[in-house]
Amino acid sequence: MISHDQREALIQAASAARQQAYAPYSHYQVGAAILAEDGRIFTGCNVENSSYGLSMCAERTAVFKMVSEGGRRIQAVAVCTENGGSPCGACRQVLTEFADDIPVWLIDAAGNCYETTLYILLPHHFGPEHLVQ
């Protein structure tokens, strides 16, 4: 269960991370914050590249940061964009590698917040249980 204080800290962290985004091509700044199982918050922002395929989304930046610092399980995610957009398919799939059906908060620039879950965003995800051993 995520406390009100944890939720608010996660939303604030995602909003602050959005300010660090490097988005000179799309001008679509995204910030993400992940609450790890141990209570730490990891943030990420989108980083674009003139070779568009080399760009990285905020959500995956936060996940990779968590993993590189020893985290393995996600309890909740907050994503902040101008219009409250949700994570792309690739980010949804990466999130499912490290989480079950967790809360996801989508925040717009005005501070409006929409709550959903990871499995609502990606109901039939592919996971390790689908790999042939």
Return per-residue pLDDT of the chain as tens, 133 residues. 899 999 999 999 999 999 999 999 999 999 999 999 999 999 999 999 999 999 999 999 999 999 999 999 999 999 999 999 999 999 999 999 999 999 999 999 999 999 999 999 999 998 888 888 7
Count of domains forming the chain: 1
Catalytic residue among 8, 48, 59, 97: 59
Tell me whether residue 133 is in a domain.
no
* Domain assignment of residue 110, given as a range: 4-125
Write out the E strands in the chain: 31-36, 41-45, 74-80, 103-107, 113-117
d(CA 24, CA 95): 26
- Domain containing residue 21: CATH number: 3.40.140.10
CB 10 within 8 A of CB 41: yes
Tell me whether residue 109 is in a domain.
yes
Catalytic-residue membership of 59: yes
pTM (whole model) above 0.85: yes
Q: Tokens 């936060």, residue?
A: 62
Tell me whether residue 22 is in a domain.
yes
Tell me whether residue 130 is in a domain.
no
d(CA 27, CA 49): 12
Q: How many CA atoms within 13 Å lie on the side-chain side of 80? A: 25
